A and B are shown apart, each in its own frame.
Chain A
């Protein structure tokens, strides 16, 4: 499988205003995304998602490292013929209609005005703005969801091989969000490669085949959805475990509460675990299957969760942390990244 995007040891530093320091917006990032993949790029606001995309598009420049898009160095004009970008909440030319905007962008690909207009009609229909009530409206009168559809329309002009979508669903209401998600699923069905940057974990979960989590510019985890969510896990709780048993179970993901020890394992390992408990004469209180979500993984890694409305990190509140000792950097998923 050829790589649509190849990022090697990418670092982007910004000087801190008024100080003689730099901050790493992107820190030694390496990712490879294959053709036809729908890749989720997860992170809170300021994690370095947009910075990475901008580097890939040649809008800003890496401090260190390399980045290739469709086999060409980032920013290459050739590659741009096959690439599309939808920035986060863009404000298009307010005085124009959706059709005029798409026509304008189409002309930037060197299309003749007639072809550009035809293409615009087609795409405006595709994103659902071709209705009588919308077609003559200026963008100034558009809702946020409608603007986002314009953005998607302009991203499809060149029938791109690779799409960069930056927070396509953020700030949208539930219905608009579902519509945009459906559009993305349709694009996925068409076989487009997508680089989907988002803090909306749910969207990524539903649309992406593979995803990564980025925090403070650093890649925290990367893997397929199956790998990340790890299929079914089972929690086995033992009442009043003996010291022998506790010693046996040490090193496994576990928590102790009110004299009960709960151990979490993949469902394939449940038999072995139960044998071990019985062997130590342990008293099994319950065996409960658990489904994981990206959110859980995020919280496990970052130690905080993302406020889905603002995209910022928020305190996890009363949700018990996965062991007070565990540091986000103590990455249990490191083995996944090594694959």
Chain B
């Protein structure tokens, strides 16, 4: 397992130097600054806009960073043949894969965390320290974005064990969108009369990673919205991300275990 950590650390240090990813991070920061341009609105409206837009921008930047990072991790190692030097050392394949995943998850954490910190700091400054509670509430949303992205990264890495980055890119994005339609698929499963369709949508709902679970912006942005089971939702979503990411990693390990590199 130490080996996985060594690989994870190496992955982070490499990822943090990637120009593409840093560009997205910078764009994210720039957009966050731009969200503060809604001066023409009344303060409360402005705050709503800034919060909603800010979480959205973090989410969007995180999405691009996650996908671009994760789909390339394994193929890049193969392409430049470093995977041969690594796997010819006493490194088990699952250690390599876990190292790559933990590296990706940590990189995403750092990126999302940095944007999140900057964002919350900006709101606190904007509010001049008033209503710190609702400003810090943003971290709940940022955590949900992180959980969503950590799961998405597992999806992309899973695909990367047998697909080319280009196919993976589209597939991961498509799965992200399908996974976001969870409430639709649930309804379709419930409402359709056709047994086949019912089965299909039920499977889609319960088997496709449900990225829609993590969309939790509205209750954080609108001060008047109180969600009673917030803690339960945040906890269960976190566990869900961990459990599903584990499932994906195990399948990835099984695929990768006998893969010819």
Of the candidates A61, A81, A86, A107, the one whose C-beta lies within 8 Å of that of B6 is A107
Partner-binding segment picked from A87-95, A201-209, A246-254, A301-309: A87-95
Contacts of A92 in B (CB 8 A): 80, 82
With A61-B260, A105-B89 in contact, is A87–B3 under 8 Å at CB?
A: no
Of the candidates B2, B10, B17, the one whose C-beta lies within 8 Å of that of A104 is B10
Name the distance in Å between B100's Cβ and chain A's nearest Cβ. Answer: 13
Chain A residues in contact with chain B, CB under 8 A? 54, 57-61, 77-78, 80-81, 83-93, 95-96, 104-105, 107-110, 151, 154, 158, 164
Contacts of B85 in A (CB 8 A): 85-87, 90, 105, 151, 154
- The residue on A at minimum CB distance from B91 is A108
Complex Cα–Cα for A297 and B258 (A) = 38
Of the candidates A86, A91, A110, A154, the one whose C-beta lies within 8 Å of that of B3 is A110
Contact A84 B88 (CB under 8 A): yes
Complex Cα–Cα for A81 and B258 (A) = 20
Name the distance in Å between A299's Cβ and chain B's nearest Cβ. Answer: 31
B26 on the A face (CB < 8 A)? no
Name the distance in Å between B225's Cβ and chain A's nearest Cβ. Answer: 45
B86 on the A face (CB < 8 A)? yes
- The residue on A at minimum CB distance from B3 is A108
Contact A108 B17 (CB under 8 A): no
- The residue on A at minimum CB distance from B84 is A87
Q: Secondary structure at chain B's binding surface: helix, strand, loop or mixed?
A: helix
Of the candidates A60, A80, A95, A110, the one whose C-beta lies within 8 Å of that of B17 is A95
With A95-B14, A107-B6, A110-B2 in contact, is A88–B260 under 8 Å at CB?
A: no
Complex Cα–Cα for A60 and B259 (A) = 7
Contact A57 B88 (CB under 8 A): yes
B190 on the A face (CB < 8 A)? no
Known pairs A57-B88, A92-B80. 12 more at Cβ < 8 A? A57-B87, A60-B260, A80-B90, A85-B84, A85-B85, A90-B85, A92-B82, A95-B17, A105-B89, A107-B6, A108-B7, A108-B91
Contacts of A54 in B (CB 8 A): 84, 260
**27 interchain pairs, CB-CB under 8 A:** A54-B260, A59-B87, A59-B88, A59-B260, A59-B261, A78-B90, A80-B89, A81-B90, A85-B84, A85-B88, A86-B85, A87-B84, A88-B81, A89-B81, A90-B80, A90-B82, A91-B81, A92-B80, A92-B82, A93-B14, A93-B82, A108-B3, A108-B7, A108-B89, A109-B90, A158-B89, A164-B88
Complex Cα–Cα for A280 and B5 (A) = 80
Q: Name B15-35 residues within 8 Å CB distance of A.
A: 17
Contacts of A109 in B (CB 8 A): 89-90
Of the candidates A60, A80, A86, A110, the one whose C-beta lies within 8 Å of that of B261 is A60
- The residue on A at minimum CB distance from B89 is A108
- The residue on A at minimum CB distance from B95 is A108
B126 on the A face (CB < 8 A)? no
